[in-house]
Amino acid sequence: MFRILVSDSMSEEGLAPLRKSEQIEIVQKKVTEVEDRLHEFDALLVRSATKVTEELLQKMPNLKIVGRAGVGVDNIDIDAATRHGVVVINAPNGNTISTAEHTFAMMAALVRRIPQAHISVKSREWNRNAFVGNELYSKHLGIIGFGRIGSEVAKRARAFGMQVHVYDPFLTKERAEKLGVSVCTLDEVLALSDIITVHTPLTKETRGLLGEKNLAKTKKGVYLLNCARGGIIDEQALVKFLENGHVAGAALDVFEQEPPGDHPLLSFDNVIVTPHLGASTVEAQLNVAAQVSEEVLQFLEGKPVTSSINLPTLSKDVYAKIQSFYNLAKKMGIVASQYMNIPVQEITVTYAGTVADLETTYITRSLLAGFLKPRVASTVNEVNAAMVAKERGITFGEKFSDETHGYANCISLTVYGENKVFTIKGTHIPNYGDRIVHFDGFSIDFAPEGYLLYIQHQDKPGMIGKVGNVLGSHDVNIATMQVGRQQVGGKAIMMLTLDKPLDDEILEKLTEIEDIEAAKKLEV
Ligand SMILES: NC(=O)C1=CN([C@@H]2O[C@H](COP(=O)(O)OP(=O)(O)OC[C@H]3O[C@@H](n4cnc5c(N)ncnc54)[C@H](O)[C@@H]3O)[C@@H](O)[C@H]2O)C=CC1
Ligand SMILES: O=C(O)C(=O)COP(=O)(O)O
């Protein structure tokens, strides 16, 4: 049974896929209303109001996934979620059209002074001369941030006969040409535009993007819109430029603090505002809630998610192809970590054969998670494995090779410790399973599963019998046994699968046998 906390208002119809599952209980309450049971929840669904902080994540040790029913994830501490091994997903395109339409409605309202005129008429006035506006037709519109919403705004602007100038450092010329807009530098957009609208996420780079310095580069009489995130237009700077008359008016759907309280911006007659309504349509809310519900359901059923912020995205088809290698890699990581139980500095994964053509990033993450699990007390999984490795000073990398050692596919893992380098190679054989085919310089063939016992010894007659005797006399049954050697009479290894975990005293007894050089328990 999984418990999901839905802490912001969400479309009931959109939550239907989750409601249908008998495995899921939904609790619709604010975080503050369930403080005493936060540890019970496996998933958290939010919009922009809930702040997913380190502090909240600490109170939710069972949390596996945060679903953002919308685009912006600036209310979620992604690094903290990653550290806690919590997947963060969003619904990136469900509210694009609604937000673009809202931006356009705000633009028209701003230049025609519709809200002001509305209030006037409702106050029983009839003052037509006070509300003379501007046309949008032929005006220069500057769009900063040309992603989903920015490009939908551009299409509507072109339909209104506007000239569109775009600034987005990640925009290609081809894409801009296709949409009939001109690509500009930020300074060009600032200098050319009669109206400027921002559609970037709020990041370190975009916070205060339209601050005093850049506002000074705009045309006198410019109109500004922010239907993206409070803070992209610096509010203090905006107040200053409204006061000195440089900015003719502004339309704001979002604020640095929401709600904005008694903010000075609210006292300007030429500032029109809405309470973060960009995504607030029946259609958008159904889209985003349905999208995150489906994804959360998938995730809780152990399937891949497609809109993850802190995991490589993976389609169902790709996941089906990598699943076997994903499992093999994890087991190889676990085995290697226990065998090399010393500090390590570097891990290299080499892919050969059919596996080399797949999404190996995901497979490597699985291997890393397996490797780190026995070493790290906190939860480690595919989400935070790379970060945990980095924190512990372990570098890792992928390589590709043609050397398959006669198998259709081969994953090699090499771990570099202070005075030791260890290599393990594995393969997945369809309808047969995972096999380790090379272990620390020895060719061997065993399944990386269950209670394993590794023994390194001299290749002499009677060794197998001696080991069997010790185990048998302690009532330990051997399920499988594989041997490998480099040369006759030289170093050799045994890998046994036991039916139950081995006591340390028995392990000690094994190491006392003459010609046994090392014995180690491994558990997968
Ligand atoms: N008011 C509301 O209710 C809503 C607000 N939003 C906000 O709208 C914004 C845009 O959303 P989408 O278009 O869906 O996102 P998107 O990711 O499709 O587009 C964002 C664009 O900004 C560009 N960008 C990033 N850094 C930049 C920089 N320093 N300068 C210029 N461009 C930069 C990116 O290259 C990208 O093309 C987000 O902040 C989102 O949170 C989204 C939905 C509803
Ligand atoms: O999707 C976004 O980024 C939004 O800003 C929408 O926010 P909301 O879900 O309406 O609180």
Q: Are the CB atoms for 62 and 41 separated by under 8 Å?
A: yes
Enumerate residues 6+ apart whose C-beta is below 8 A from 342: 417, 418, 420
Give the CATH number of the domain where residue 202 resides. 3.40.50.720
Dist CA 116 CA 479 (whole Å): 83
Q: How many of the other CB atoms lie within 10 Å of CB of 159?
A: 9
Dist CA 182 CA 158 (whole Å): 12
Q: Are the CB atoms for 335 and 436 separated by under 8 Å?
A: yes
466: left (phi over 0), alpha (psi -120 to 50) or beta: alpha
**Strand, helix or coil at 438?**
strand
Q: What tokens were used for 97?
A: 């059209």
Instruction: Output the pLDDT for position 175.
Output: 78
Query: ∠ CA 215-216-220 to the nearest 5 degrees?
Result: 90
Instruction: Output the pLDDT for position 185.
Output: 95
Residue whose entry in the numeric block shows the structure tokens 């170093």: 491
Instruction: Output the pLDDT for position 108.
Output: 98
Identify whether 309 is part of a domain.
Answer: no
Identify whether 88 is part of a domain.
Answer: yes
Instruction: Based on the fold, state whether residues 218 and 155 are members of the same structural domain.
Output: yes
In 205-338, which ranges are E strands?
A: 222-226, 247-252, 271-273
Instruction: Based on the fold, state whether residues 224 and 174 are members of the same structural domain.
Output: yes
Enumerate residues 6+ apart whose C-beta is below 8 A from 220: 245, 246
Give the CATH number of the domain where residue 428 resides. 3.30.1330.90
Q: How far is the CA of 90 from the centre of ligand 1 (A)?
A: 13
Q: Which residue has the higher pLDDT, 99 or 489?
A: 99
Instruction: Output the pLDDT for position 211.
Output: 98
**Whose Cα sits closest to atom 11 in ligand 2?**
48
Task: Print the domain residue range for 442.
Answer: 314-449
- The answer, yes or no, to whether any atom of ligand 2 lies below 6 A from the CB of 427, is no
Instruction: Based on the fold, state whether residues 116 and 250 are members of the same structural domain.
Output: yes
- 276 classed as catalytic: yes
Identify whether 368 is part of a domain.
Answer: yes
For the packed helices 114-122 and 96-112, what is the interaxial angle rounded to 10 degrees?
Answer: 70
Give residue ranges with CB within 6 A of ligand 1.
Answer: 70-72, 92, 95-96, 99, 144-150, 167-170, 199-202, 205-206, 227-229, 253-254, 276, 278-279
Using alpha carbons, select from 444, 432, 425, 429 the residue that is nearest to residue 352: 425
Q: Which atom of ligand 2 is nearest to the CA of 73?
A: 3
pLDDT tens-digit readout, 417-433:
988 999 999 999 999 99
Query: ∠ CA 451-457-461 to the nearest 5 degrees?
Result: 110
Identify whether 236 is part of a domain.
Answer: yes
**Strand, helix or coil at 225?**
strand
Q: How far is the CA of 48 from the centre of ligand 2 (A)?
A: 5
Identify whether 476 is part of a domain.
Answer: yes
Ligand in nearest proximity to the CA of 143 = 1
**Strand, helix or coil at 494?**
strand
Instruction: Output the pLDDT for position 429.
Output: 97
pLDDT tens-digit readout, 93-150:
999 999 999 999 999 999 999 999 999 999 999 999 999 999 999 999 999 999 999 9
Instruction: Based on the fold, state whether residues 193 and 237 are members of the same structural domain.
Output: yes
Instruction: Based on the fold, state whether residues 74 and 206 are members of the same structural domain.
Output: no
Instruction: Output the pLDDT for position 320.
Output: 83
* pLDDT averaged over every residue in the chain: 94
Give the CATH number of the domain where residue 515 resides. 3.30.70.260
- 263 classed as catalytic: no
Instruction: Based on the fold, state whether residues 293 and 326 are members of the same structural domain.
Output: no
Whether the pLDDT of residue 64 is over 70: the answer is: yes
Strands 247-252 and 409-417: unpaired
Dist CA 42 CA 47 (whole Å): 17
Instruction: Based on the fold, state whether residues 237 and 384 are members of the same structural domain.
Output: no
The last residue of one of the domains, among 387, 419, 449, is: 449
Residue 311 DSSP symbol: S
Share of the chain above pLDDT 90, in %: 84
Identify whether 58 is part of a domain.
Answer: yes
Whether the pLDDT of residue 278 is over 70: the answer is: yes
Whether the pLDDT of residue 172 is over 80: the answer is: no
Number of domains in the chain: 4
Instruction: Based on the fold, state whether residues 49 and 143 are members of the same structural domain.
Output: no
- The answer, yes or no, to whether any atom of ligand 2 lies below 6 A from the CB of 280, is yes
Whether the pLDDT of residue 495 is over 80: the answer is: yes
Instruction: Based on the fold, state whether residues 122 and 255 are members of the same structural domain.
Output: yes
Instruction: Based on the fold, state whether residues 88 and 99 are members of the same structural domain.
Output: no
Instruction: Based on the fold, state whether residues 492 and 417 are members of the same structural domain.
Output: no
Q: Which atom of ligand 1 is nearest to the CA of 170?
A: 35
- Span 457-473, mean pLDDT? 95
Identify whether 223 is part of a domain.
Answer: yes
Whether the pLDDT of residue 313 is over 80: the answer is: no
Which of 276, 435, 438, 457 does the annotation list as catalytic?
Answer: 276
pLDDT confidence bin for 378, thresholds 50/70/90: low
Identify whether 306 is part of a domain.
Answer: no
- 258 classed as catalytic: yes
Q: How far is the CA of 288 from the centre of ligand 2 (A)?
A: 10
Instruction: Output the pLDDT for position 159.
Output: 97
Q: How far is the CA of 145 from the centre of ligand 1 (A)?
A: 6
Q: How far is the CA of 77 from the centre of ligand 1 (A)?
A: 18
The upper half-sphere exposure of residue 160, i.e. CA atoms within 13 Å in the direction of its Cβ, equals 20
Q: How far is the CA of 475 from the centre of ligand 1 (A)?
A: 65
- The answer, yes or no, to whether any atom of ligand 2 lies below 6 A from the CB of 102, is no
ipTM: 0.99
Query: ∠ CA 460-463-469 to the nearest 5 degrees?
Result: 160
Whether the pLDDT of residue 500 is over 80: the answer is: yes
pLDDT confidence bin for 398, thresholds 50/70/90: very high
pLDDT confidence bin for 86, thresholds 50/70/90: very high
Which of 47, 199, 229, 428 does the annotation list as catalytic?
Answer: 229
- Span 284-305, mean pLDDT? 93
- The answer, yes or no, to whether any atom of ligand 2 lies below 6 A from the CB of 68, is no
Which of 258, 301, 508, 517 does the annotation list as catalytic?
Answer: 258
pLDDT confidence bin for 377, thresholds 50/70/90: low
Q: How far is the CA of 71 from the centre of ligand 2 (A)?
A: 6
Which amino acid appears at position 325 of this protein? Answer: F
**Whose Cα sits closest to atom 3 in ligand 2?**
72
**Among 25-39, 362-376, 400-414, 487-501, which stretch is predicted with the lowest mean pLDDT?**
362-376
453-488 as b/e: b if 16+ CB within 10 A: bbbbbebeeebeebbeebbeeeebebeebbbbbeee
Q: Which residue has the higher pLDDT, 406 or 170?
A: 406
Instruction: Based on the fold, state whether residues 72 and 171 are members of the same structural domain.
Output: no
- The answer, yes or no, to whether any atom of ligand 2 lies below 6 A from the CB of 279, is yes
Ligand in nearest proximity to the CA of 288 = 2
